[in-house]
Amino acid sequence: MAKNREGFKQSSEESELEEKVLHINRCAKVVKGGRKFSFSALILVGDGKGRVGFGFAKANELTDAIRKGGEAARKSLVSFATEGTTIPHEIEVCWDGARILLKPAPRGSGVVAGSQVRAVLEAAGIKDVMAKSLGSNNPINQVRATFKALEQLVSRETILKRRGVA
């Protein structure tokens, strides 16, 4: 697996999809012989062209959790509406305690967002957007809220068709 400059891992079987580990959590269970550790991993997969997915998996070994999360992320790929290098409209979404606000930005602004939301938007191929996390800083809930926001985006043409203008 080769790494590109953003730290994304590139798999050989699907060269267009880039994989990134967003969050790893180690959990300890105290048993008779000592502590038994297990791991959970939040994995992000995107092609940079409007398709992105995430997976959350748990396992006793870290490598197994990352592998399972990557497989789950590939199964959950979603596409969404874009307008050039940004999103078509402003949107605010809640998921559990996490509230995410996404706003379109002019060309050349870049991705102005926190770490989890930034990773999702960059993996999706959005170049110009402003985002703000208004609630919880739980990484899983932030990623789920961002995905919910991306799924709710509607293109300008679809809105005009609904209104009967075009």
Residues 101-126 pLDDT 10s: 999 999 999 999 999 999 999 999 99
Q: Which CATH number fits domain 2-78: 3.30.160.20, 3.50.50.60, 3.40.50.620, 3.40.50.2300?
A: 3.30.160.20
Paired tokens of 118: 């930034």
Residues 137-158 pLDDT 10s: 999 999 999 999 999 999 999 9
Residue 11 has pLDDT above 60, yes or no: no
Cα 100 to its chain centre, rounded Å, is: 12
Residues 19-55 pLDDT 10s: 999 999 999 999 999 999 999 999 999 999 999 999 9
Angle between helices 139-152 and 115-124 (to 10 degrees): 40
Residue 16 has pLDDT above 90, yes or no: no
d(C-alpha 93, C-alpha 150), whole Å: 10
Q: What are phi and psi of 18, to 5 degrees?
A: -110, 140
Residue 13 has pLDDT above 50, yes or no: no
Supply the mean pLDDT for the chain.
Answer: 91
| CB of 100 closer than 8 Å to CB of 153 | no
Domain residue ranges in the chain? 2-78, 81-163
Paired tokens of 162: 């609904």
d(C-alpha 56, C-alpha 73), whole Å: 8
Paired tokens of 15: 């060269």
> How buried is residue 135: exposed, middle or buried, by Cβ count under 10 Å (0-12/13-18/19+)?
middle
Residue 14 has pLDDT above 80, yes or no: no
Confidence class for position 163, pLDDT limits 50, 70, 90: very high
Q: Residue 148 gets which letter from DSSP?
A: H
pTM of the model: 0.86
d(C-alpha 119, C-alpha 101), whole Å: 15
Same fold yes or no, 2-78 and 81-163: no
- Comparing C-alpha atoms, which of 38, 123, 113 is closest to residue 76? 123
Q: Which CATH architecture has domain 81-163?
A: 2-Layer Sandwich (3.30)
